[in-house]
Amino acid sequence: MKRIIKRILTLFSVVLLSSCSLPGLSNAADSDTITIASLGSTEAEIMGFIVEGMVEHYIPIDANRITNLGSSSMNHAALQTGDANVASVRYTGTSLTGELGQEPITDPQLALEKVVKGFEEEFDQTWYPTYGFANTYAFMVRREDAEELGLEKVSDLEQYADTFKVGVDNSWLEREGDGYDGFVQTYGFDFDNLYPMAIGLVYTAIANGEIDVALGYSTDGRIISEDLKVLEDDRHLFPPYDASPVATNEIRARYPDLDKVMAKLAGAISNEEMQRLNFTADNYLLEPSTVAKEWLLRNNYFENKEPYLEPVRKKEVE
């Protein structure tokens, strides 16, 4: 039933995009260019400009972009309807349970294989190798506390479970699978002092000493600005949310060099690097386009990187 509901929501997004004229949308399949769709977050906008910059550097075209698509399903619908043909960033955990309607998987490689196979077979799209970063839920503490108390892993919090104040996203408490009930089952302990709040507030709260542990996002720029340490999810509570670009096979056939462009970005951005890019944009109020351009120039558009890497292909996955 859950899978059917997910498919209905995705279908609704496709119908909505097909029937509405949204700013920036045009039928990419009818134009001789590459159109890149991005989610509305700082991270997704930066990646959209990075992909655009790489495409225009290596392929003699002016790429288009569609920005601020509010959800993964809307992003997916844009590729399905032909309004776009490349997604700047998609996350394995989100698309596995969302567009594909499958159960969560905690093994990163298996999750990747599932989405590669699923997107090829069901949507005629290629899910490329990961950029190298994963944007997932993560527990974090102040760096000075981590150093003083020797906190490296989430399981290290058990000895402080009755004293630490823990700030978490409101929705996480009721979230199935990797929510609070899943945490207790996976780690074998619970927290005596939980403080539900909007996820954007946890960073301010921990910086101000109002809480001792925050549940945030692993690539958030505020990890740097508030000098926080991300704890290792050593018992693998959270599904992998490795980030990759996705392209329709139609646009890959039209522009064969697109595979080479995406291959240069494979493994190029770590969690820490994505944190720095997000921090630079948000902390200094720089446009994502500026941050992306400076990063591409600093890396010389990866011109010296191995020019071709076979894209991840679908595998027989049990």
Determine how many CB atoms are found less than 10 A away from the CB of residue 314: 16
Q: Which pair of tokens denotes residue 126?
A: 């290629």
Comparing 107-116, 140-149, 159-168, 304-313, which segment has the lowest mean pLDDT?
A: 304-313
| Sign of the CA dihedral with 130 first, then 133, 135, and 136 last | positive
**304 contacts: CB under 8 Å, gap ≥ 6:** none
* DSSP 3-state of 53: helix
What's this model's pTM, rounded to 2 decimal places?
0.85
Q: Are 154 and 235 in contact (CB under 8 A)?
A: yes
Per-residue pLDDT, averaged over 237-265, amounts to 96
**Percent of the chain whose pLDDT exceeds 70:** 86
Q: Give kind and range of the element (H or E) at residue 37.
A: strand 35-39
Instruction: Give per-residue pLDDT as tens, 127-168.
Output: 999 999 999 999 999 999 999 999 999 999 999 999 999 999
In the chain, the domains with their CATH numbers are: 34-134+241-297 (3.40.190.10), 137-230 (3.40.190.120)
Judge residue 215's burial from the number of C-beta atoms within 10 Å of its C-beta, 0-12 exposed, 13-18 middle, 19 or more buried: buried
pLDDT single digits (tens) 201-229: 999 999 999 999 999 999 999 999 999 99
Give the position of tokens 């490349």.
Answer: 86
> 50 Cβ partners below 8 Å, 6+ apart?
88, 265, 292, 295, 296
